[in-house]
Each structure stands twice: as structure tokens, then as C-alpha cells.
Chain A
């Protein structure tokens, strides 16, 4: 814009009210919406609690303890974030099966073959990377639609886990002792005034969150993932080698699944061959978390913070439901809540796209 132009364009005057701007922030900034929803949830549950409508007390100890469920959920949500971001219909249905296989691998190595802890963990993680690499190679180099490639490997890996373990959980004294990795601890220095927090948060979740955040936001790899996810062709013409990039995203999803495999062994105190695939499996909740966290299924849009907040919301919502509907009812209502939240979130995504042009 030339400075010699007589009339400089007037600065757009913000004529809209604070309320309409707040509404726009709420709808377009997924993180704002999630934070508000978490606060609303906590207020509602506290009111219910003080009214005596709950079967247990919804206090900070209970909330902190329920965070153990956030560890696998958030990690796999981040795996889906990476994969979905990479675009071209990116999705990974096989994470649950990879969790089962790597869990069995870890259980075998640590519990039966007598490997030391670090080697066994490394084995599980590397195996996860290889399994993810198969997905990635099929998608990036052969050109499979990700939904199909990971559907096929979902079947194949699940079968491998069941056949390898002879359909029996792997169990030994060593694995049972490993249960301590999932226990709750008191933080040093400031911990006395805080509730006990599950150890897995610090040993697994937070490192993964930090690494994924750095990868996506502070490395060229991350920028390339966003670029290829937004427009694959444009990324190619911008000189990005999209294939190895896309392969790596699926490898990372496998690596994270390997870590989750180890976490589930610690949680169950045994390596179960159906750990990641029983019932609805682990892939569906992870994809739900990613979508709820504002990840666009078409790729290129999504943030780590959104996934983390979405996990906290779902975990605390589920914890509240268990208190409000005791017993088996609670588990069923959790299904309903997850479904409604997902439908609501995706309708909201569509609405904001039309009203404000993208999230």
C-alpha cells in the first residue's frame, strides 16, 4: 500500500458489543470453549455434590485420582492429532491394536524373558514405531487411503497380539511389581498441600505432551506437517518432501502407542492381549478427543493444548457421571455423553466454519 495515496483506509472501528466478541471467541477459539466447559462442569458437579445427589464426593482428591484415565487417552489423542493434521484423510484406527501388541511385547520381554526395564520399554517403543511405519509406508508411499490402511492393520495387529500371547494375559511377579508405576504420588516440596497425583502423568503424559508440542511448533518437521495437511499439492510445490514427512507422523503414532502399551501393562498389572481393542477399543475415544479438541478432520488445523483440555474435560465428565449414576448405569451414560459431545462438537465446527470462516 503506497503512502502517497491521499486517503488512508480508515482503521476498522470495532462496533460490535463485548458480548458478540465473547461469543465469537467462544465459538472460534476451541481452547476458550473447552476451558469454559470444564469450569461449568466443575461448578455443576460441585452443586450436585453439595445437594447430596452424588454417591461419592466430587473433590480434588477424586479428580486427581481420575486423571490416571487421562494418561492413555491424552497420549493417543496426541497420536491422532499428529496423524489427522498430516492431511489427505489422515486417521489411525490401528492405535488400539498397536497398544495390545506392544503391551504383550513389553510383558514378554520384561516379565518372561527377564530383560531389564529400560531394554524392555525400548523394545516396546521400537516395535510400536515399526508397526506405525508399516501404516506410514502404506499411506505415504503406496498411496493407501489412511482409513483403509489402518483398518487393515487394525485387524492384522489385533490378531498378532492374540495369537502371540495365545489369548492369555502375560503375567509374572515382575509385571505385578511394575504396577507401582501407575500409583499415585505426593509431589515433592509443594505436594503436601495438593492431592495425590498419578505417577503416569509425570513419567509418561507430560513428557509426551512437551515433545509433541515442540515437534509441532518449534521444528521444521512440525511446520511441514501443518503445510502438507493444509494443502498437499501446495506443500509439494513449496519444495517439501511430503512422503517421508507423512511416514514419520505414522511412526510417531506407533511410538506413542508403544508407550501407552507400557502404561496399560502398569495399570492392569498384567499384559492383556485385548488391552487396546476390548469393547469399543482405544481408537474411537482417541479420535473423539482429537475432534473435540478442535482438530479438523480434513487436516492442517489443530493444537496440542486443545487435545489436552478435551481429555481433561472428558475424564472429569466421566468421573462425574460415575458418581451421579452408580454402577453399570454410569458406564452406559458415559457412552451417551461421549456420543453427544462428539456430535455437538462437530456440528459446532460446521457452524463456526460457516459463520466465521474456519476455526
Chain B
């Protein structure tokens, strides 16, 4: 989905046309088809799969991954990466849970506090990466450990118990749905659409692609590279804060220390399955949403088929290889044609 993937045609165009990428890409259509086939197959082999009581929890579990995946897509489009979201989720979740338990704060305060904390963590990453000029993966490996440390300190013991039901409006229960649609999933869809519009139709969004394509060229073309990169990490941090609230709501009244472990890889998996190039300069948030749905479908499907639940990760790995592999082959074919 590069901006300029076609050479100017032989005839000289009188007026420079606004170049927009197609609204949806091939990768997204393929993902929709794969998800549809999987849902039909699962519907045939496990009759209960296509019932609301199975799809609704699936969507609730998609929400935090896709939501944080939106931020991660921004970051990866700028050719960065953030492996600290697992630690950041743990820290936001435990602070919010403690606020709910110890101070019985109302819903807006809890969500705002979690998002504000996430924003601060994102700003830490973004500042180090944009202004410290160090490689994103290394810095975020470091901050992942630091965030995890603070999360464990706040936890104190191994779990936070008796979390009040304040956040249930984002949860699995009846309170968490309107007309059968889970609120957390609806919010995620809204954020995805906003992000899609931002990336496609605003200068700021196009700048992110430019930075990922070639940061130096972008800077020479007048893009303020460092503030834009900082913004991508700040957005991710804020979404991590909201995602942490979703995770608390989707769980039981107990939060345990492992809440963030492995989530960074799940988010990155959703993003790359969605067709975002890890090398930067190419990507879509709709793909990320579909990637998250695919991953959760596999996870939930494996359980419902009665297979060992650990097998799900094997399929996630294979999906990453297939998704990125077909993308690579398509790219190669495109280059040969050009």
C-alpha cells in the first residue's frame, strides 16, 4: 500500500493528481476470506461456534489486542516496534485494579487514570526512541523490564483480589453489550475507523508512512520526524491504558501478575498478519483488526474442537508465515512486473 507504487504513465499529466492508496488492500480481502472460511468450517464441526454466546466472548477477547494493535500499526509503519506493551499493560492494569479496590473510584476516573498512565509510559518510550536516536527494539526491551518491575512492585502479592464490577461495562456480561454488540469491541471498531481515516486522509498520517519509507527523505521533505514518531508511541501508550481496562473487565474479579506476559507478541502477530510491513512504510489498521480476529478465532476454535489448547500457538505461527510469505511473494511479483 505504498503511496507511489505506480510509475507515472507515458503521457504527461497536466495536473498532479492526488494519489490515494486503495481503501482496502488485497491482503485485507484475503484475510476476510480466510476468516469467513474458518468460521464456516468451525460452524460445521462445532455447532455451538456460530452462536452469540460463542461469538460475543470472541469479540471481547479481540478488542484489547486489536485496540493496542492500532497503536502498534502506527509504530510499525514508522519502521519502529514496541515490545514493551506487555509490561505497560501489566502496569496500567495493576494500578487501575488497585485504584478500584482501594479507592472505589468511578468508571471515568479509572479509565482516565489508566489511559494517562499509559500515555506517560508511551512518552517515555517515544522520547528515548525519537530523541535518544536508539533502535526501538532495544529500548523497548529495556523499558519492558522496567515497566514489569514497577508492575510487580505495585502488585505486592501475586494477585489483586475482589476487583469491583465498575469496569463490567467493557466486560463479557450482559452489562457489557448493547443490541448484542460488546461495548469494548464497538469502541475498538470506532478507534480503528478513526485511525484508518487519520492514516489515509490527513497529512500527519501520510507523514508516518513517509518516515517508515525513508526517515531521512521524509525529514528533507519537511516532515517533523521526531514529534511524529513520539506521537506514534504516545498513541500506543494511551491505547494500552484503555486496553488494560478491557482486559480487567474481560477477566474475573482477580488480576494476576501474568496479565501482560506475551501480549506484545500477540499484538505484533496481529499487526503483521494484517499485512503491515515490519520494515515500515506500509500497513493498515483494518488489516490489524482482521489479524486480531483471525488469531482469536484460531485460539477459540482449537479449544472448541477439543484439541490441546497449546496447539493454537502453532497455528498462529503458521498464519504469520503464510500471511507474510504471500505478501513477500506478491511484492516480488510486483517488482518483476515493474
Contacts and interface: CB of A to CB of B under 8 A. Distances in A.
Nearest to B145: A339
A34 to B, nearest CB: 17
B193 interface: no
B215 interface: no
A336 B320 contact: no
- Determine which residue in A152, A156, A167 has the highest number of CB atoms from chain B within 10 A of its CB, and name it: A152
A39 B312 CA distance: 48
B316 interface: yes
A156 B134 contact: no
Nearest to B152: A332
A154 B134 contact: no
Interface stretch (A49-57, A111-119, A284-292): A284-292
Chain B interface extent, by class: 35 or more
Most buried by A among B135, B308, B313: B313
B198 interface: no
Given A145-B324, A156-B317, A339-B144, 19 more contacts: A143-B332, A144-B321, A149-B321, A154-B265, A154-B317, A155-B313, A155-B320, A156-B313, A157-B317, A158-B313, A159-B314, A280-B144, A280-B148, A336-B145, A339-B146, A339-B148, A350-B132, A350-B133, A354-B133
Given A142-B325, A335-B146, A339-B144, A148 B278 contact: yes
Interface stretch (A169-177, A220-228, A340-348): A340-348
A233 to B, nearest CB: 16
B318 interface: yes
A335 B324 CA distance: 33
Contacts of B320: 148, 151-152, 155
Contacts of A323: none
A332 B320 CA distance: 33
Interface SS, B side:
helix
B247 interface: no
B134 A148 contact: no
Closest 6 CB pairs of A and B: A156-B317, A339-B145, A342-B142, A155-B317, A339-B146, A152-B320
A26 interface: no
A151 B269 CA distance: 8
Of A145, A287, A338, A343, chain B has the most CB atoms within 10 Å of the CB of A343
A162 to B, nearest CB: 4
B101 interface: no
A152 B317 contact: yes
A359 interface: no
8 contacts: A151-B272, A157-B317, A297-B135, A297-B138, A336-B149, A339-B145, A339-B146, A349-B134
A279 B152 CA distance: 13
A147 interface: yes
A347 B134 contact: yes
B195 interface: no
B141 A284 contact: yes
Contacts of A332: 149, 152-153
Interface string B114-138: 0000000000000010001111011
A342 B325 contact: no
A149 B144 CA distance: 22
